[in-house]
Chain A
Amino acid sequence: MSLLSVRDLSVKFAMRDNTVTALNQISFDLCKGERLGIVGESGAGKSITGFALMNLLSRPGYIDSGKIQFLGEDITEMSEAKMRSIRGNQMAMIFQDPMVTLNPVLTIGQQMVETLQAHRKLSKSEAEQIAIVKLREVYIPSPEERLNQYPHELSGGMRQRIIIAIALLLDPQLIIADEPTTALDVTIQADIMELLLELCESNKVGLILITHDLGVVSQMTERTLVMYAGRIIEAGRTREIINDPQHPYTQGLINALPQQTKPGQRLKQIPGNMPSLTAIPRGCPFSPRCEYAQDHCLTEAPKPVQYTHVEVACHEVNRLHSDKAEEMIG
């Protein structure tokens, strides 16, 4: 059964004299216990997607159209009270910066007990017992003592572990992690990712991992969405997208990585910049940067179509593919 089903979701921001479209009709599904990656560069709409799923968009942003079915119910039509009972309880979010996610004036214990008591009838000592179990699950040494500590007494990696423990407190079905390790060092990042993977697998928790790092997506997720200028431009199994990307942007993104080129040689760069949301080009949003763009790319937005093993939104994917085949033969 599908845990989450998003259909034609559009998010807009009301500006003084017009509106800008931050998310343009995105659709995807997530099964129970599945791990999905959302990749893209800044301004692609990854974080907005996360916020929309949690119904956390605040003005001037709003959901313009579309449905978000979570466990069979439409989040976009829920009252704030109903939403509050789901948020933190059945779906939880982990943010990028562990320094700002925790409340600096409350101890770790107070923050964990507060979360538990908001959703369940528990005494303080019962709640603390659960908190200790969860802290142990994320490999925090001597968890009893941590409950009385303040966030500033802990290192960045430790704080991010505590945030993961808080996200797991009420055994949610879905965790949305927005760049959870971007602010951390590589050795700590590897630790946290391993932990997140292990916890999602053992507790059968669905994970949406929002990141700009293709390496992280490749190691953590089963399926991947690639976003560009508020649209999903490619979706499919992670392994297949990494090994054989179909959309010119995904190809460009992977080829631009230094490990894809011999040391000292020029990297394969994508020309130009991601368009700003106020000036998204007509037609295919990637067309001004795309070497395969034709006249109809400039006027008509491509719809996602199934192509070999992935879904891809590109008019020229057939030609792209035959070029590649020729290259291989030639």
Chain B
Amino acid sequence: MSAPQPLLEIRNLEKRFELDRGFLETLKFKGGKLVQEKREVHAVNNVSLEVAPGEALCVVGESGCGKSTVARLIAGLLTPSAGEIHYAGERIDDRSRRALMPLRKKMQMIFQNPYASLNPRMTIQQALEEPVRYHNPALSKGEVRDKVAEVMRSVGVDPSWAGRYPHEFSGGQRQRIAIARALTVDPEFIIADEPISALDVSIQAQVLNLMLEAKDERGLTYLFITHDLSVVQHFGTKVAVLYLGSVCELSDTATLFENPKHPYTRALLSAVPQLKDDHPNHIRLRGEIPTPINLPQGCPFESRCAHANSRCQTEKPRPQQQPDGALVACHAVEEDRLDG
């Protein structure tokens, strides 16, 4: 079986942030002696993902698991510490900012907070025109205006409001405008970082519908970062569950929700408050996410896992292919001692 070429491919991606910058900050007192020590936050550890054209890959996890860092690395807003990012067969992580520019037209990003992602001193018209003009210098003024009006209509914002400023719009409308701005350059790939978490329930549905429509009509591919599992189930075709910067489970959405395998995925799914009563009890996790400064030697989830043994403490589990296609990084799953 030959799989179609992935639109985006990430191989062994790593990102570390230095905590101690400069020589003096690295000096520490330990046992009466002055030692040099550098602390680093290991935000993303050895993450490999693929997104095929037309897919919507959701990256889920709790705060601090590195999901936004992954998004920013792909968008080129951060430089990876190690690993490779390939887009449509070409390596992009080592490109200069200038060399990335043609790619920005194909790859657009939508951020969480629509209050911060629109320039408060630009009218909507100006904010939407800027990317069109930049990426299509050949277009005439009238053509640019038509393009902007067309995109505004497609996201349900009245083009006659183009002269207004962002503060005159509600949160939901602003997020529509942010989506419109991403769509004005006719991208093929959208990175959406928690695009609906700042919105109310009834508005979330509006924005999610808009993104689904754009997906169907324009054939968009999405990388969707979220912490909300019900949105994942609805929107995603594939899901990657991140914990402490590592992928613990990667599988088709339906498979993941029907048959979650990793103990963390199971706990996460069971913790979502449900409307109806008929769901299994929530799996209690011990403790909280450890800090990504000193990564545990073995499995990152070991400190909170009910199935951990001595092997989990010392050896990092590798992602293993399961019979139903899911990739799971867990010794307990591998040794088949979870359900016994």
Contacts and interface: CB of A to CB of B under 8 A. Distances in A.
Contacts of A242: 275-276
A274 B282 CA distance: 34
Nearest to A154: B288
Nearest to A213: B273
Given A186-B229, A187-B285, A267-B234, A253 B272 contact: no
Contacts of B173: 273
Given A41-B201, A266-B212, A270-B202, A186 B230 contact: no
Interface residues of B, number: 40
A212 B172 CA distance: 16
Interface in A264-279: 264, 266-271, 273-274
Interface of A: 41-42, 155, 157-158, 185-191, 193-194, 212-216, 218-219, 239, 242-243, 252-254, 256-259, 261, 263-264, 266-271, 273-274
Given A218-B275, A254-B275, A266 B209 contact: yes
Identify which of B63, B201, B209, B212 gathers the most chain A CB atoms within 10 Å of its CB. Answer: B201
Nearest to B170: A273
Contact of B230 (A189, A257, A268): A257
Contact of B234 (A42, A264, A273): A264
10 contacts: A185-B63, A214-B275, A215-B275, A257-B201, A258-B205, A258-B208, A259-B234, A264-B235, A267-B208, A273-B203
Contact of A256 (B202, B235, B271): B202
A270 B208 CA distance: 12
A239 B203 CA distance: 24
Interface in B124-180: 170, 172-173
Nearest 7 Cβ contacts at the A-B interface: A215-B273, A258-B234, A190-B271, A256-B205, A185-B62, A41-B200, A269-B205
A267 B212 CA distance: 10
Given A157-B288, A186-B62, A252 B234 contact: no
Contact of A263 (B205, B253, B272): B253
A310 B203 CA distance: 26
Contacts of B282: 190, 194
Nearest to A263: B234
Nearest to A254: B275
B233 interface: yes
Contacts of B205: 256-258, 267-270
Given A218-B274, A267-B209, A273-B203, A188 B233 contact: no
